[in-house]
Amino acid sequence: MSLTQKISLLFGLALIASTGSALAETSACPEILKHSFSRLQDEAPQNLCQYAGKVALVVNTASYCGFTGQYEGLEALYAKYERKGLVVLGFPSNDFGNQEPGNSKQIADFCFNTYGVKFPMFSKTSVKGKEANPLFAQLIKSTGTSPKWNFYKYLIDRQGKVITAYSSVTTPDNKAMVADIEKALAQ
């Protein structure tokens, strides 16, 4: 076997190994996270499987809502627990009271400049009814409850099991919700 053939063979084996690893990672992704959405700030597609093994707090958001101040608390929650495995996933929606009229750039600028949001945010989407994106459709099916307004929250454990939903009035510093997050992080 020539040197070129040996190099080609080694390259091929390395490619097969990396593909097998990627397939293993995909198969380890819980069903609830097997979705891709465009990232808010640049529309780059993001596979939610990258959050497999983390505790996820999924929130539908809006820039012009009485609950918009929760961005600050969500960011604080994310900053406090990120190293322990929490991720907050924000999904802007105009489904309730037309309180998210802007485009992706406007929403991203507002979130970062007003509240310093660094947790993952995705492009504007629908979160209720027949138009709900596939993640929210699964969350609704799993919990039996649809978002009633902006800043509705769903908690998913490290294995991808939907634990519960929290109403819009449940603030990010709510003791019961924080206790649920801490319990999920400890597992």
pLDDT in tens, the chain (187 residues): 554 444 444 444 444 444 444 444 445 999 999 999 999 999 999 999 999 999 999 999 999 999 999 999 999 999 999 999 999 999 999 999 999 999 999 999 999 999 999 999 999 999 999 999 999 999 999 999 999 999 999 999 999 999 999 999 999 999 999 999 999 999 9
Beta bridge pairs of residue 90: 59, 121
Any idea which residues carry the catalytic annotation?
Answer: 65
Which CATH architecture is the domain 30-186 placed in?
A: 3-Layer(aba) Sandwich (3.40)
The residue type found at 23 is L
DSSP string, 60-118: EE-SSSTTTTHHHHHHHHHHHHGGGTEEEEEEE--TTTT---S-HHHHHHHHHHHH---
